[in-house]
Amino acid sequence: MRKTRPDRRPFVDAETRLRVQTNLDANNARGERPQKYDHYLKGVLWCAGGAKLMIEGPREHELLPTSR
């Protein structure tokens, strides 16, 4: 626990701090996040060269043709 100067009391008591920290740790479980949204044109559009249309750009709604 953090050391405090003798003339200062902690803002939060140790029991409350431990309870809050336990809740924060429990909610911070990392895992695989599936792709949130697939673009509705994914796999439908093709460029003239026969390559699939890839979605690239700062925003998912921007469609930029690439030949990969």
pLDDT tens by residue, 27-44? 766 655 666 666 677 777
Q: What is the structure's pLDDT at 66?
A: 56
Global pTM value: 0.33
pLDDT tens by residue, 47-68? 777 777 666 655 555 555 555 5
Tell me how far apart the alpha carbons of residues 46 and 65 are, in angstroms, rounded to a whole number: 8
Domain ranges, ordered by start, for the chain: 35-67
Question: Residue 42, by phi and psi: left (phi above 0), alpha (psi -120 to 50) or beta?
Answer: beta
Tell me how far apart the alpha carbons of residues 28 and 21 are, in angstroms, rounded to a whole number: 11
Beta bridge partners of 21: none
